């Protein structure tokens, strides 16, 4: 049976369709060999252990077919694009992007600062201070430009930038990483392709060396800090489940 209302994203029991979709995705994660990412679940893997949040969104297409979309937070195996998963809302790593150029410039400044610090003269230390100021200003400008390139749709087809969403709903600039979580990526893709979202579920996959909070295979609500302002816009005028007590 299809859900009558969409999942309340901050506290929920996954709908049976969401659980079924998540189980299918987890089976794929267990056995796929298309890419390699160290979740900390296999012995002998190289590189840093990085657990990851995944999401599934049960949808109905314009033709009335019911299926599900899948997404991961941030990057997976060093990239944004993988089969079976929706693409990022904005691909900051695309060749020739302003972000790549900006990061190269920041790297150049960092290398220049390091060389000057090794000289350790009074003049070089003054130059370091000036370059640190330039680096900070460039970094802030780059982050702001990135925020302006993320645009999110809602059910009505209304599009808003990440910066506008946060300034309107939270009275602040977005935190780093906002817009890269699974839930906003899934909803944006569904709205862009005229699908009706029916149910959402997000689960953690892998070990979490930084915190004991994240447990492998368990479901979790959407985060408040990065996602709540975005979801406020994206879920506007949708029928949402009652807030659980």
In the chain, where the domains are located:
16-90+151-234, 98-143
DSSP per-residue letters across 88-140: PSS-TTSTT-HHHHHHHHHHHHHHHHHHHHHH--HHHHHHHHHHHHHHHHHHH
C-alpha 116 chain-centroid distance: 37
pTM of the model: 0.86
pLDDT per position in the chain (245 positions), as tens? 899 999 999 999 999 999 999 999 999 999 999 999 999 998 878 888 899 999 999 999 999 999 999 999 999 998 999 999 999 999 877 777 777 788 889 999 999 999 998 887 888 888 999 999 999 998 888 888 888 889 999 999 999 999 999 988 767 889 888 999 999 999 999 999 999 999 999 999 999 867 778 899 999 999 999 999 999 999 999 999 987 65
End-to-end CA distance of the chain: 24
Task: Say which residues have a Cβ less than 8 Å from residue 167's Cβ, sequence separation at least 6.
Answer: 173
Residues 184 and 231 sit within 8 Å (Cβ to Cβ): yes
């Amino acid at each position: 049976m299809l859900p009558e209302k969409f999942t309340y994203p901050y506290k929920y029991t996954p709908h049976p369709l969401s659980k079924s979709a998540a189980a299918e995705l987890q089976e794929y994660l267990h056995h796929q060999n298309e890419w390699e990412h160290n979740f900390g679940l296999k012995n002998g893997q190289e590189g840093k252990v990085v657990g990851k949040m995944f999401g599934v969104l049960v949808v109905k297409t314009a033709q009335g077919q019911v299926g599900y979309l899948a997404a991961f937070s941030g990057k997976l195996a060093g990239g944004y694009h993988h089969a079976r998963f929706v693409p990022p809302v904005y691909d900051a790593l695309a060749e020739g992007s302003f972000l790549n150029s900006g990061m190269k410039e920041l790297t150049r400044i960092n290398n220049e600062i390091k060389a000057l610090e090794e000289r350790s003269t009074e003049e070089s230390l003054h130059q370091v201070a000036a370059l640190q100021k330039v680096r900070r200003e460039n970094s802030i400008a780059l982050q702001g430009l990135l925020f302006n390139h993320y645009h999110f749709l809602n059910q009505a087809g209304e599009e808003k930038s990440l910066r506008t969403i946060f300034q309107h709903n939270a009275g602040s600039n977005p935190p780093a990483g906002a817009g890269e979580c699974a839930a906003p990526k899934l909803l944006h893709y569904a709205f862009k392709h005229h699908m009706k979202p029916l149910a959402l579920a997000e689960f953690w996959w892998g070990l979490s060396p930084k915190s004991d909070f994240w447990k492998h295979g368990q479901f979790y609500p959407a985060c408040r800090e990065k996602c709540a302002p975005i979801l406020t816009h994206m879920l506007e005028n949708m029928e949402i489940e009652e807030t659980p007590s």
